[in-house]
Amino acid sequence: MSTLKSMTDESLVLAYIDGNNRAFDELLSRNGDKVFTYIMCNVKNEDLANDLFQETFLKVVHKLQNRLYSSSGKFLYWVIRIAHNVMIDYFRAQHVKKVVDVSGDKDLRLSDRETFVDISREAELSNNQTLKDVVMLMNMLPAAQREVVYMRFFQSLSFKEIAEETHVSINTSLGRMRYALINMRRLSREYQVQLVLE
C-alpha cells in the first residue's frame, strides 16, 4: 500500500484499469471527502448527498472499467464533473426545470418558461428570485468573467474546453472563474442578495 500512496492519481487510475482494485481504494481515500463536500454544498441534505455520492462513484467505476477516462486534467476535476452531472440528472428527474435564454452577447436572462414542480408556491417564488439574482450578479461581471461562468455552469464545459473556445490558457480560464466567484460574492454582499435555493 505504501507504493500506492506515493503514486499520482493518474498512475493509480491506470493501475486500477489494469486490474489493481487497491489502487481505486487509494483514489477514493484521497478524493472522496472533497467530492462529498462538493455535493453536500450543493444539495444541503446529508442523505441525498450520500445517495448522489454513491451514484457518482458507481459511474466513475463504470467509466474507468470501460476505459472512458480522459486524462486531460486532474482526476478530481473529472470526478467533480461526473458528480455535477449526477446532480443535474437528479434535479431533472424531480421535474425542476430552469430554462435559460441567452442572447448573442451572452447576456443571461431566465425565460418565462421556468417551472418548479412539486414544491410549495412560496419556495417556488423564493427559488425564482434566487435564480434571477444569480443572473443579475453574473450580468454585472466583466465580459471575460461572465463568459467563463456562462460556459462552465450553463454549458457544462470543462476548463480545457473553455480555454479552447476563448483562445486562452487553462490557467487564464481558471483565473477568470476565480475572480468571477470573488466578484459575485462581493456583489451579493454589496446588494444584500442571499443566494439560497429552498
Share of the chain above pLDDT 90, in %: 16
Cβ contacts of 12 within 8 Å, gap of 6 or more: 4, 23, 24, 26, 27, 75
Considering only 75-79, 88-92, 102-106, 193-197, which range has the smallest mean pLDDT?
102-106
Least confident of 3-17, 49-63, 113-127: 113-127
Instruction: Count up the domains in the chain and report the number.
Output: 2
pLDDT at position 196 is 53
CATH of the domain at 178: 1.10.10.10
CATH of the domain at 19: 1.10.1740.10
Sign of CA dihedral 148, 154, 158, 163: negative
Q: Is 20 exposed, middle or buried (0-12, 13-18, 19+ CB in 10 A)?
A: middle
Instruction: State the residue range of the domain holding 189.
Output: 99-198
> With 90 as the cut, is the pLDDT of residue 120 above it?
no
Are 123 and 196 in a shared domain?
Answer: yes
Spacing of C-alpha 179 from chain mean position:
17
From the CB of residue 50, how many other CB atoms can be counted at a distance below 10 Å? 13
C-alpha cell at 41: 454544498
By residue count, the chain amounts to: 198
Are β-strands 100-102 and 108-110 bridged in parallel, bridged antiparallel, or unpaired?
antiparallel
Same domain, 115 and 194: yes
Q: Which residue has the cell 489494469?
A: 18
Mean pLDDT of 97-110: 47
Same domain, 83 and 122: no
What local confidence, expressed as pLDDT, does residue 66 receive? 87
Q: What is the largest CA-CA distance in the chain?
A: 57
The pLDDT mean for the chain works out to: 78
pLDDT single digits (tens) 163-197: 888 888 888 888 888 888 888 888 888 877 766 54
- 193, 188, 166: which is closest to 177 by C-alpha? 166
pLDDT digits over 130-166, tens only?
667 777 788 888 988 888 887 887 677 788 888 888 8
